[in-house]
A and B are shown apart, each in its own frame.
Chain A
Amino acid sequence: MSMTLTLAVLLPFLGAAGVAWGSRLGRPTAILLALLVVLMPAILILSLLDPLVAGETHLEHFAWLPAAGLNIAFRLDGLGLLFAGLILGIGALVILYARYYLAAEDNLGRLYAYLLLFMGAMLGVVLSENLIQMLMFWELTSLSSFLLIGYWRQREDARTGARMALAVTGAGGLALLGGILLLGRMTGSYDLSIVLASGDLIRAHPLYVPTLLLILLGIFTKSAQFPFHFWLPHAMAAPTPVSSYLHSATMVKAGVFLLARLFPALAGTWEWNHLVAGFGMLTLITGAVIALFQHDLKGLLAYSTISHLGLITVLFGIGTPLAAVAGIFHIINHATFKAGLFMAAGIIDHETGTRDMRRINGLWRAMPYTGTLAMVAASAMAGVPLFNGFLSKEMFFGEAVGVANAMALGWLLPVAATLAGAFAVAYSLRFVHDVFFNGEPVDLPRHPHEPPRWMRVPVEILVVICLLVGMLPALTVEPILHLAVSAVLQGPPPVHDLAIWHGFSPAVLMSILAMSGGVIIYSVRKPIYGWWDTQGGRVDFRRAYERLLQGLLTLAGRVTLWLDQGSMPRLLRLFVAVALILGLAGWWGSGSPLTGPLTLLPLDAVSLSTGLALVLAAIATLVWHRQRFTALILVGAVGLMVALVFAKFSAPDLALTQLSVEVVTVILLLLALFFLPQTTPEDPPSPRRWGDAVLAVLAGLGMSILTWAILTRPYESIAGFFLERSVPGGGGRNVVNVILVDFRGFDTLGEITVLALAGLAIFALLDKLRLSGQRVAGPATAWHWDRHPLIVASLVRLLLPLALLVAVFILMRGHNLPGGGFIAGLITAIALIMLYLANGVAWTHARLPDKTHPVIGAGLLLATLTGLASLLFGHPFLTSTFGHVHWPLVGEFEVASAMLFDLGVWLVVVGSTLLILIHLGLMSDASRDGLAPGTPVRGSGAGRSAGDSPPGPGC
């Protein structure tokens, strides 16, 4: 497979790196390397010339993203060849020229590297077969031109210009991406060969107009068409070689290149004609008029470039084959004379130190040779006969006249063309007359003289081309024009005649009008300058661009202020509101009913009163939430009601668990609340709070509705499975307990481990932490003087054995009847905590072992060993077994290995709960009041040892 083109495109990229490195060896090396890098692709491309002349398009494909239908593909046809020639040819001249232009302190290697980078990107654009790949190179040209415009980083205008160019062309590139994606969707391929052949399909597609608009947006921004033309004059902050390369010959031509490239696919519709020709015409006039009033040499050339790009755009917009020929022809001509003019302007700038045409006058005496070259190029720009610009301009005038007859409002075009022609003559005159004649120079920074020999050579070459093409078009430019036009039209080019004189026609008349008009305008320029300097600045699209940016910034600021305040309640409000809206939308969206098919149970008194109590308790909590103790007790009531509900629906097991958990939780919260203020401070009432209330009520309603929707629907329960297997598989009739200790024993083992860890972690956190707590219960209410009332203490001591007995009972029966290790553990813990509450820490510690760590450890160990034991018998971990034992008094009693496991659970629950609660209580000084000073308390630090704590009698 041929890789010639691929290599040709890649070489400049590699060369850029090479030159950046090689420039350390001095300027001569850098320039030689750079020229070599330009020469190699040229040779590679020329090697493909023969088949091209025979009418074949050279294609190269490589797999890239086959899955996404993307290939790396290059193509060489006439249009690509023409542009590649321009890019490489003018590129070589610019490299030569830059060597002499750049001051000694500037880094030449960096400039060359950027230039070669740009050259590679440009070659990629014109030689790509794949449109996506072309777009990538397209954006690379924007990037590398950003680097080139900003070459003089220290200058403010260079930075602004670079950024503006990148913003405009980069944004256009993204629009182009949109267009290309749509194009690919229509034709099913991103390959140019297919896209170009599907013109009819594309034009008839409903998405044609958006596609066209997006692609034109990309083209117009790149080619500096009105109203996006403002970036180009600001890009003139670049070094002049860069301007002459990018902003006359190549990059801005990428836009019109694409116009030509997609001509067969997109052209020929009403929209195309009006949009392309219309915007082209506006650009043509605007550029030409403004150019005259620029006092900056490069500014004049920049606006003239805009105008000429407009001209080319108009030609493609007209859409006839002959217009396309003229368009291509003018691309060549403009590139040559404008590059020459820029270089001449660069020489003048270089020699005089300024570009202000009000100061540089009468240079003819100092530099007649440069003056001659500039005059030739300027004549070509003005469209003077015998120079190349004349030929394409004549063709343009001829086409414009053709449009006048073909379209409504078509007469506008010839008028505009003539007017623009007149202004072109005027500004060309200004370029020559102001600079080289027109009196004496004013206060020049440097004394001008002719530039070095090799700095003039590139200009000479370009000027010679201008002349040769202008005089002998058929011999010089016809072959390449023929090839390029056949590629643009995807067919044989129309009959055209590149002669200088076609006989008398409207076009000649327009030329004469433009010439004389130009001279007249130039002769009356002085008063117009004055008018422009006061009025003309009003029409500045840069300001529009800046206002747009400013507007965007303001908008962003406003949105930020509105959305991004960092206020937590606001965030929560937004979150809940959005969730509510989305939930509502989901409800609205689906047509299914809210209530499911389940039949409702009849309402009985117990359910009703429990439900009412639940609601009342909840509301009361809300009302008294500022009095925290009250609110806590009320929350406890809610929990108790829930326990009742469980009992009502025949889940005594859950009810028991809920009950004991509720008690432990309330105690825990009470202990914590002791250290906090007893009341919540009151918020000042505000409309926002009412809003919050409404939101809360709505969210609550939403939740209720959802609950209703779910509860009225049938669901498949897994209960059946466990009910069936509980007795045969686990040897217990209490299904919940069997699940806990047998079916899901592993889970439970994990859970008690977590519980143990939590207990230890809380112990570690609270250890040594001392808080004073609240000395008063509320406003002016002291705590009761008697912390441990005798009656309570005595009753609790009586109660303890009973409670422990209940716990053991619950543990033992757990496997078959409601109960189990977890509940038993909680009951035990509650009983012991009561002991602490009623008698105080000092009393209790004198009688109880104050370490619960061993209990926790024993529990975990027991549970784990039970599990491991089954391994001994060759069963998997935690396999349970059970048997029956006949006890003398009790009778038949079932013993399951799971019960041992349950014992472990019980131990861990007791140990952890006690550990947590005791140490929460011990945080407070108040709990220590009963302890003698210096009495070691569990975990109080250095003096801790087993011997220090009084041995407890146990229970």
Chain B
Amino acid sequence: MTFDYAHLLPIVPEIAVLVLASILLLVDLWLKDEDKGTNHLIAVFGLLVVIGLTGVVGGGEREIVLSGSYIRDPMSDVLKIAVLVVSLLSFVYSRDYLRDRGLWVGEFYVLTLCAVLGMMVMISANSFLTLYLGLELLALSLYALVAFERDNPSGAEAAMKYFVLGALGSGLLLYGLSMLYGASGSLELGAVARAVAWQGADNQVLVFGLVFVVIGIGFKFGAVPFHMWVPDTYQGAPNPVVLFLGSAPKIAAFALAFRLLVDGLGQLHADWQGMLVILSVISLAVGNIVAIAQTNIKRMLAYSTISHVGFIFLGLLAGTTEGFAAAMFYAIVYALMAAGGFGLLVMMSRQGHEVERLEDLKGLNERDSWQAAMMALVMFSMAGVPPTVGFMAKLLVLDAVISIGLWWLALIAVFFSVIGAFYYLRVVKIIYFDKPEVIEPLVVGSGARVALSVTGLAILLLGLFPAALLTYCQAAFA
């Protein structure tokens, strides 16, 4: 079997990320402590180049390369660009934080880039093996990132919990995948789909495999009851890591779910639909209700993530192109909102003071009204208030669910959104109406300021003109 170098063309962006990470690793060796800003510049410009490359390589018909283990299709193009953009934003947000805390080392960028690479591999995976490879690259990088602030015991505890549970989750997913392999005789998603279509749900092993795969997906998304790692990890990890961990991987998790459940096991839709219904309903319920009781804003956002995952699942379980497009739209939009929300927390955290209590946001409006307005926008968007994009995302998902006749499910989702609106609005109230405990104005770097403004405006503009993104999401499944 000969190797065709043309097969490398679709994966040029991935290669570029790898090269970028390696360059950073090497450059960092020779950088003096005061020059560490170079890392940031290299990473940011490198990611810009990768975004460009993804755009150049992308577009057109789907291609399956590397002996069927890798795929580039319209969906992967959109998701990869979304992941890259959100990662870029998180770099920009984190710059000052890392500098002030003495965490400004090359490892942060290298690990994050490895995670990005893992996500890109996941998004483009066309076989169980590639998928798992990407997933583990992402997960391992994240475990290390969570414990990045080595002297912080709560960070270490969070990383430990994340790692042990994550290993269990990955193990179950892998177990499920191996059963699917046993039942279908192939690792490649297309071949698996054909084998499944032929055997159907009669094969006990397939059903077991499916169960474990759904557990693994549920874990990676952080859906209830596999959500336990989410709040603890969010609370313990340093803010920039939470920012990254809480945003882009949701997009990759969508890809994971779509590749496995739809590309691979689309024929078993009836089986996994039921499981996702349960997962999404309890995620919505637990996420929204528990979030109310949180006084730590990172924990609150963690539970809010869980409830948003419920919405993403709603779109997925619809099983229609409309539903997939809605779920994809939701995942991307959620990543953007999370980047904005956590981005502000990162920006507000000064040396020696990690912003994580709700009270820390008190009177933000008096300290910096523009940032306050952006944060309010993010909160309104998460609550699903028009005309922000969060509303559009919810609307599309609900529409997809109703269109397959599960209107009661849509009503449950609406009901819990109403409860969810409560705690988002509480944040808005704290920002605008409460007296600040610290009166000094917020010192924010220009990069982060621009990033937050871009995020906020994107939330607003995408809400007004959702077609700009939705068209791409729908084209991915056309």
Contact residues of A with B, CB < 8 Å? 63-68, 132, 135-137, 139-140, 143, 150, 153, 159, 162-163, 166-167, 170-171, 174-175, 177-178, 181-182, 184-185, 207, 210, 214, 549, 552-553, 555-557, 559-560, 563-564, 566, 568, 571-572, 574-576, 578-579, 582-583, 585-587, 589-594, 596, 706, 709-710, 713, 715-716, 876-877
- Whether B429 contacts A557 by the Cβ 8 Å rule is no
What is the CA–CA distance of A132 and B422 in the complex, to the nearest angstrom?
Answer: 22
- List 18 contacting pairs A-B, 8 Å CB cutoff, sorted by A: A65-B470, A136-B386, A143-B380, A170-B385, A171-B421, A185-B402, A210-B411, A552-B422, A560-B293, A563-B290, A568-B164, A572-B164, A574-B225, A592-B203, A592-B204, A596-B205, A715-B182, A716-B185
Q: Identify the interface centre among A166, A210, A710: most chain B CB within 10 Å of its CB.
A: A710
Contact residues of B with A, CB < 8 Å? 2-3, 160-161, 164-165, 168-169, 172, 179, 182-183, 185, 201-205, 207-208, 210-212, 214-215, 225-226, 228-229, 231-232, 271, 275, 286, 289-294, 322, 325, 380, 383-387, 391, 395-396, 398-399, 402-403, 407, 410-411, 414, 417-419, 421-422, 425, 429, 432-433, 465-467, 470-471, 474
In the complex formed, the residue of B with least CB distance to A172 is B418
- Whether B407 contacts A583 by the Cβ 8 Å rule is no
- Whether A559 contacts B386 by the Cβ 8 Å rule is no
Q: Which residues of the other chain, B, contact A706 by a CB distance below 8 angstroms?
A: 179, 208
What is the CA–CA distance of A862 and B383 in the complex, to the nearest angstrom?
Answer: 61
**Could you tell me the distance in whole angstroms from the C-beta of A879 to the nearest C-beta in chain B?**
9
Q: Which residues of the other chain, B, contact A549 by a CB distance below 8 angstroms?
A: 422
Q: Which residues of the other chain, A, contact B168 by a CB distance below 8 angstroms?
A: 572, 575-576
What is the CA–CA distance of A184 and B214 in the complex, to the nearest angstrom?
Answer: 32
What is the CA–CA distance of A737 and B228 in the complex, to the nearest angstrom?
Answer: 44
- Whether A552 contacts B292 by the Cβ 8 Å rule is yes
- Whether B387 contacts A153 by the Cβ 8 Å rule is no
Please list the 10 inter-chain residue pairs (A to B) with the smallest Cβ-Cβ separation, ordered nearest first: A136-B386, A556-B293, A556-B292, A586-B211, A716-B185, A571-B228, A159-B433, A178-B414, A171-B418, A560-B293
- Whether B211 contacts A585 by the Cβ 8 Å rule is yes
Known: A564-B290, A713-B182. 7 other contacts (CB 8 A): A132-B395, A137-B386, A150-B432, A170-B418, A171-B421, A552-B292, A564-B231
What is the CA–CA distance of A553 and B291 in the complex, to the nearest angstrom?
Answer: 10
The SS class assigned to the B binding surface is helix
- Whether B228 contacts A175 by the Cβ 8 Å rule is no
What is the CA–CA distance of A167 and B292 in the complex, to the nearest angstrom?
Answer: 14
Q: Which residues of the other chain, A, contact B161 by a CB distance below 8 angstroms?
A: 568, 571
- Whether A710 contacts B165 by the Cβ 8 Å rule is no
What is the CA–CA distance of A590 and B207 in the complex, to the nearest angstrom?
Answer: 7
Known: A174-B417, A583-B208, A715-B185. A67 touches B467 (CB 8 A): yes
What is the CA–CA distance of A207 and B410 in the complex, to the nearest angstrom?
Answer: 13
Q: Which residues of the other chain, A, contact B160 by a CB distance below 8 angstroms?
A: 568
- Whether A140 contacts B275 by the Cβ 8 Å rule is no
Q: Which residues of the other chain, A, contact B433 by a CB distance below 8 angstroms?
A: 150, 153, 159, 162
- Whether A592 contacts B387 by the Cβ 8 Å rule is no
**Could you tell me the distance in whole angstroms from the C-beta of A797 to the nearest C-beta in chain B?**
43
Residue of B165, B291, B380, B418 near A571 (CB, 8 A) is B165
What is the CA–CA distance of A361 and B322 in the complex, to the nearest angstrom?
Answer: 65
Residue of A140, A207, A579, A710 near B407 (CB, 8 A) is A207
Residue of B3, B215, B275, B398 near A579 (CB, 8 A) is B215
Q: Which residues of the other chain, A, contact B429 by a CB distance below 8 angstroms?
A: 159, 163
Q: Identify the interface centre among B211, B286, B396, B419: most chain A CB within 10 Å of its CB.
A: B211
Q: Which residues of the other chain, B, contact A150 by a CB distance below 8 angstroms?
A: 432-433
Residue of A170, A566, A578, A709 near B205 (CB, 8 A) is A709
In the complex formed, the residue of A with least CB distance to B285 is A559
Q: Which residues of the other chain, A, contact B467 by a CB distance below 8 angstroms?
A: 63-67
What is the CA–CA distance of A139 and B383 in the complex, to the nearest angstrom?
Answer: 12
What is the CA–CA distance of A140 and B231 in the complex, to the nearest angstrom?
Answer: 32
- Whether A177 contacts B402 by the Cβ 8 Å rule is no
What is the CA–CA distance of A181 and B210 in the complex, to the nearest angstrom?
Answer: 32
In the complex formed, the residue of A with least CB distance to B478 is A67
Q: Which residues of the other chain, B, contact A571 by a CB distance below 8 angstroms?
A: 161, 165, 228-229
- Whether B286 contacts A563 by the Cβ 8 Å rule is yes
In the complex formed, the residue of A with least CB distance to B215 is A579
In the complex formed, the residue of B with least CB distance to A590 is B207
Q: Which residues of the other chain, B, contact A563 by a CB distance below 8 angstroms?
A: 286, 290
What is the CA–CA distance of A587 and B418 in the complex, to the nearest angstrom?
Answer: 37
Known: A171-B421, A575-B165, A582-B275. A710 touches B179 (CB 8 A): yes
In the complex formed, the residue of A with least CB distance to B423 is A556
- Whether B432 contacts A153 by the Cβ 8 Å rule is yes
- Whether A556 contacts B289 by the Cβ 8 Å rule is yes
The SS class assigned to the A binding surface is helix
**Could you tell me the distance in whole angstroms from the C-beta of A744 to the nearest C-beta in chain B?**
11
- Whether A139 contacts B207 by the Cβ 8 Å rule is no
- Whether B417 contacts A557 by the Cβ 8 Å rule is no
- Whether A583 contacts B228 by the Cβ 8 Å rule is no
What is the CA–CA distance of A170 and B467 in the complex, to the nearest angstrom?
Answer: 25
What is the CA–CA distance of A140 and B289 in the complex, to the nearest angstrom?
Answer: 25
What is the CA–CA distance of A163 and B422 in the complex, to the nearest angstrom?
Answer: 10
What is the CA–CA distance of A897 and B384 in the complex, to the nearest angstrom?
Answer: 65
Q: Which residues of the other chain, A, contact B384 by a CB distance below 8 angstroms?
A: 174
**Could you tell me the distance in whole angstroms from the C-beta of A846 to the nearest C-beta in chain B?**
36
- Whether A185 contacts B385 by the Cβ 8 Å rule is no
- Whether A136 contacts B391 by the Cβ 8 Å rule is yes
Residue of A136, A587, A596, A710 near B387 (CB, 8 A) is A136
What is the CA–CA distance of A139 and B425 in the complex, to the nearest angstrom?
Answer: 14
What is the CA–CA distance of A140 and B388 in the complex, to the nearest angstrom?
Answer: 10
In the complex formed, the residue of B with least CB distance to A64 is B467
Q: Which residues of the other chain, A, contact B3 by a CB distance below 8 angstroms?
A: 876-877
Known: A163-B429, A571-B161. A135 touches B414 (CB 8 A): no
- Whether A566 contacts B294 by the Cβ 8 Å rule is no
**Could you tell me the distance in whole angstroms from the C-beta of B396 to the nearest C-beta in chain A?**
6
Residue of A166, A182, A578, A582 near B402 (CB, 8 A) is A182
What is the CA–CA distance of A139 and B466 in the complex, to the nearest angstrom?
Answer: 18
- Whether B182 contacts A590 by the Cβ 8 Å rule is no
- Whether A140 contacts B182 by the Cβ 8 Å rule is no
**Could you tell me the distance in whole angstroms from the C-beta of B232 to the nearest C-beta in chain A?**
6
- Whether B165 contacts A709 by the Cβ 8 Å rule is no
In the complex formed, the residue of B with least CB distance to A575 is B168
**Could you tell me the distance in whole angstroms from the C-beta of B261 to the nearest C-beta in chain A?**
15
- Whether A579 contacts B212 by the Cβ 8 Å rule is yes
Q: Which residues of the other chain, A, contact B466 by a CB distance below 8 angstroms?
A: 64-65
What is the CA–CA distance of A875 and B407 in the complex, to the nearest angstrom?
Answer: 62
**Could you tell me the distance in whole angstroms from the C-beta of A208 to the nearest C-beta in chain B?**
12
Q: Which residues of the other chain, B, contact A552 by a CB distance below 8 angstroms?
A: 289, 292, 419, 422
Known: A174-B384, A592-B204, A709-B205. A167 touches B425 (CB 8 A): yes
What is the CA–CA distance of A630 and B164 in the complex, to the nearest angstrom?
Answer: 26
- Whether B286 contacts A559 by the Cβ 8 Å rule is yes
What is the CA–CA distance of A576 and B387 in the complex, to the nearest angstrom?
Answer: 42
What is the CA–CA distance of A557 and B291 in the complex, to the nearest angstrom?
Answer: 9
Known: A171-B418, A181-B410, A590-B204. A135 touches B386 (CB 8 A): yes
- Whether A574 contacts B228 by the Cβ 8 Å rule is yes
What is the CA–CA distance of A150 and B376 in the complex, to the nearest angstrom?
Answer: 15
**Could you tell me the distance in whole angstroms from the C-beta of B343 to the nearest C-beta in chain A?**
23
What is the CA–CA distance of A139 and B387 in the complex, to the nearest angstrom?
Answer: 8
Q: Which residues of the other chain, A, contact B165 by a CB distance below 8 angstroms?
A: 571-572, 575
**Could you tell me the distance in whole angstroms from the C-beta of B289 to the nearest C-beta in chain A?**
5
- Whether A67 contacts B211 by the Cβ 8 Å rule is no
**Could you tell me the distance in whole angstroms from the C-beta of B282 to the nearest C-beta in chain A?**
11
Q: Which residues of the other chain, B, contact A559 by a CB distance below 8 angstroms?
A: 286, 289-290, 293
What is the CA–CA distance of A563 and B205 in the complex, to the nearest angstrom?
Answer: 32
What is the CA–CA distance of A150 and B325 in the complex, to the nearest angstrom?
Answer: 39
Known: A140-B387, A143-B380, A579-B212. A589 touches B207 (CB 8 A): yes
What is the CA–CA distance of A433 and B418 in the complex, to the nearest angstrom?
Answer: 44
What is the CA–CA distance of A593 and B465 in the complex, to the nearest angstrom?
Answer: 53
What is the CA–CA distance of A6 and B214 in the complex, to the nearest angstrom?
Answer: 47
What is the CA–CA distance of A167 and B183 in the complex, to the nearest angstrom?
Answer: 52
- Whether B418 contacts A67 by the Cβ 8 Å rule is no
- Whether A593 contacts B293 by the Cβ 8 Å rule is no
